[in-house]
């Protein structure tokens, strides 16, 4: 087999392949066996029909075409290897000659990984937030803890801003009650502005047993947009009481006996949380620093496919939430043109991230062992609410195990980048990210922050996010060459 490689651009090549007909013999034999099992010829059992009979009954050209389609994935893979081509995405295959007994020739156009050099990672530097915890931060945490243990106490006075009231509401339009605008026993905090325009003003100064009527525009229901007369009746006025910050509170809110012990534990927890956040921040900023130093052409076909997949993922999320793209555009104050531009920008970054991380992994000869892949699948399964066994089977059945392994490899590449890049905190002190990545993390410290070792490479994971906060392009640019299955197109 002979393969010639023509570079169409820095990110796309054309392979011209010439295959001696003799190399198709295994596929021809296989095609005859398959056709023999499928046809029914009097005097022959299924699977025992001789090739000459098949040629007369079905046609030799049918068998040859089937053999070529069967052989094409292997021929394509061999052509890539012979031409030392690192392909991305699905190839475009065209047969240029298919004559029985003569050499088979075909061409393949496919996107390829652009060639580029990585800078010395040690020459890059980033700054991250420090891990010191201030007294104000400790107090902020304890105050939030106080809020959790607060209680409501009835007061005998007119209601003020911030008070909690129990109320009845009834609305009418043109003197007729609005059925879906009647409520009893509602608990409402004055000043929250969460119900009706004008309600906060009406309630201020009212006491238990008082009623008042105000006029407002209804936001929903049959009379949405219509002015309505709303009567509000106050049943009770309550104020929030916070427990005192003392030893008794420490015993109520924690396992500690004294407030001093609770303060010390709070400081320790906040420091661990900041350490986790610092590692995540270092990884993100180190990657950004590297990306800024690398200027590479991107395979446009891969970018287009990435943008397409990203948009489809968002549309599926919106559909599950009972929403539409139009609703999303309105909620995010975007035009369709702005949305498409944002999707493309994210796709371009995601593809660039993948290419750079893959290059780092190859340059450093990183690999993924079975335990690391199993751990990744277990974490993804937990996020998706399924068993690891079920997710592993799903990935295997859909041919996505290679993609999962690629994500693990990219996460390792991101860690390596963070270790090699010079990292300092806001005070100028050097941060040893390598030590932080190796240190075991307290699960409580990771609450609200990604674990440095578990965080996936930017933009990709088998699981889709639960809520469509914003479109996020996946980092995996396309199926690897080994996963592509080209078929012959005359």
Is position 163 within any domain? Answer: yes
**Residue-averaged pLDDT of the chain:** 87
Same domain, 304 and 407: yes
Q: What is the CATH number of the domain that holds 156?
A: 3.10.50.40
Confidence of residue 439 (pLDDT cuts 50, 70, 90): low
- Per the listing, tokens 């509170």 go with 249
Q: What domain range is 21 assigned to?
A: 2-112
Q: What is the CATH number of the domain that holds 104?
A: 3.30.70.1050
- Closest by CA position to 24, among listed 104, 106, 105, 108: 104
- Per the listing, tokens 């109520």 go with 252
The pTM score is: 0.72
Q: How far apart are the first and last CA of the chain?
A: 20
Q: What is the DSSP letter of 27?
A: H
Same domain, 297 and 334: yes
Same domain, 202 and 297: no
Residues facing residue 459 across a β-bridge = none
Same domain, 329 and 382: yes
The answer to whether the CB of 98 falls within 8 A of the CB of 489 is: no
The yes-or-no verdict on residue 453 having pLDDT over 80 is no
How many structural domains compose the chain?
3
- Final residue belonging to a domain, choices 202, 221, 241: 241
Is position 196 within any domain? Answer: yes
Same domain, 10 and 102: yes
pLDDT at 286: 96
How, if at all, do strands 125-128 and 151-154 pair? unpaired
Same domain, 127 and 75: no
Q: CA triplet 374, 376, 380: central angle to 5 degrees?
A: 115
Is position 255 within any domain? Answer: no
Same domain, 307 and 381: yes
The yes-or-no verdict on residue 457 having pLDDT over 50 is no
Q: What is the CATH number of the domain that holds 404?
A: 1.10.3120.10
Is position 408 within any domain? Answer: yes
Same domain, 100 and 234: no
Is position 353 within any domain? Answer: yes
Is position 265 within any domain? Answer: no
Residues facing residue 2 across a β-bridge = 18
Top-confidence range, 360-364, 396-400, 430-434? 360-364
Lowest mean pLDDT among 104-108, 127-131, 219-223: 219-223
């Amino acid at each position: 087999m002979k393969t010639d490689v023509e570079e169409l651009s820095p990110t796309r090549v054309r392979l011209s392949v010439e295959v001696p007909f003799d190399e198709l013999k295994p596929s021809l034999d296989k095609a005859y066996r398959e056709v023999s099992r499928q046809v029914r010829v009097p005097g022959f059992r299924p699977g025992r029909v001789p090739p000459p009979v098949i040629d007369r009954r079905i046609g030799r050209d049918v068998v040859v075409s089937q053999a070529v389609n069967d052989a094409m994935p292997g021929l394509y893979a061999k052509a890539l290897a012979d031409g030392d081509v690192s392909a991305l995405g699905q190839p475009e295959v065209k047969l240029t000659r298919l004559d029985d007994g003569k050499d088979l020739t075909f061409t393949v156009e496919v996107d390829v990984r652009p060639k580029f050099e990585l800078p010395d990672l040690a020459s890059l530097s980033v700054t991250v937030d420090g891990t010191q915890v201030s007294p104000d931060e400790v107090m902020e945490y304890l105050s939030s803890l106080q809020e959790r243990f607060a209680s409501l106490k009835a007061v005998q006075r007119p209601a003020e801003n911030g008070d909690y009231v129990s109320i009845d509401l009834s609305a009418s339009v043109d003197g007729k009650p609005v059925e879906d605008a009647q409520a009893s026993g509602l608990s409402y905090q004055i000043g929250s502005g969460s119900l009706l325009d004008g309600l906060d003003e009406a309630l201020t100064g009212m006491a238990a047993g008082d009623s008042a009527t105000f006029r407002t525009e209804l936001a929903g229901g049959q009379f949405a947009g219509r002015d309505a007369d709303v009567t509000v009746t106050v049943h009770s006025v309550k104020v929030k009481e916070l427990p005192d910050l003392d030893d008794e509170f420490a015993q109520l809110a924690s396992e500690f006996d004294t407030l001093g012990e609770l303060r010390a534990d709070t400081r320790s927890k906040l420091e661990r949380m900041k350490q986790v956040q610092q590692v995540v921040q270092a990884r993100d900023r180190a990657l950004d620093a590297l990306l800024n130093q690398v200027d590479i052409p991107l395979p446009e076909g891969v970018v287009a496919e990435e943008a397409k997949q990203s948009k489809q993922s968002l549309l599926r999320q919106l559909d599950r939430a009972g929403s539409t793209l139009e609703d999303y555009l309105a909620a995010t104050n975007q035009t369709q043109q702005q949305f498409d531009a944002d999707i493309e920008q994210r796709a371009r970054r995601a593809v660039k991230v993948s290419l750079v991380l893959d290059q780092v992994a190859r340059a450093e000869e990183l690999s993924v062992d079975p335990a690391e892949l199993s751990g990744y699948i277990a974490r993804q399964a937990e996020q998706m609410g399924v068993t690891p066994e079920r997710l592993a089977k799903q990935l295997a059945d859909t041919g996505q195990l290679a993609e999962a392994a690629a994500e693990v490899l990219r996460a390792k590449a991101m860690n390596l980048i963070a270790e090699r890049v010079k990292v300092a905190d806001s005070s100028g002190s050097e941060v040893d990210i390598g030590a932080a990545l190796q240190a075991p993390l307290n699960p409580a410290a990771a609450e609200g922050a990604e674990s440095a070792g578990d965080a996936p490479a930017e933009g990709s994971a088998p699981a889709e996010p639960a809520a469509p906060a914003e479109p996020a392009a996946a980092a995996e640019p396309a199926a690897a060459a080994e996963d592509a299955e080209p078929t012959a197109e005359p």
